[in-house]
Amino acid sequence: MLVRERIHADTWVPPWLRFQHVARYEWARRYCRGTLALDAACGIGYGSILLRAQGAMVSLDIAIEALAEARVATPPLRLVRGDTTRLPFKSGSFGAFVSFETIEHLDDDNAYAAEARRVVQTGG
């Protein structure tokens, strides 16, 4: 990961920026209904919390400090530390793959896309 960029719960963020981030997750919720979904590069997990209302979630991030902040979610998130270009999951593990504000920070965007394709079930 080249740059760490995330919204923190205790940091002021312009309302328009926070709205954009939340709106993306609200849009993605329909694709997570009734399936196991992966929120790749979840940051502090605020998006995973929104997605979790639709089905089961796994939240992954490479940054230890982001996962530490995400651990305070109630109810708890299922958090995994990992790299989006080398996902630690079996092929076809997920019905949905959600990942925002990620690809522009990676050295190998082809590996990222290949991993997303690999872990999502056919039709996901």
The pTM for the full model equals 0.87
* Digit-coded pLDDT (tens) for 17-63: 778 888 999 999 999 999 999 999 999 998 999 999 888 899 999 99
In the predicted model, is pLDDT for residue 1 greater than 80? no
Residue 6 has pLDDT above 70, yes or no: no
Give Cα separations from 65 to 6, 57, 92, 124 (angstroms): 11, 20, 29, 30
Q: Would you place residue 3 in the very low, low, confident or very high pLDDT band (cuts 50, 70, 90)?
A: very low
Residue identified by tokens 């694709």 is 31
% of the chain exceeding 70 in pLDDT: 91
Looking at this protein, which amino acid is placed at residue 71? Answer: R
CA-to-CA distance for 61 and 80, rounded, in angstroms? 7
Side-chain half-sphere CA neighbours of 74 within 13 A = 0
State what percent of residues in the chain have pLDDT above 90. 66
Contacts 24+ apart (CB under 8 A), 28-34: 28/96, 28/98, 28/100, 29/53, 29/54, 30/54, 31/96, 31/98, 32/57, 32/95, 32/96, 32/98, 34/95
Residue 5 is given by DSSP the state -
Residues 75, 37: Cα–Cα separation, whole Å: 17
Encoded amino acid at 8, one letter: H
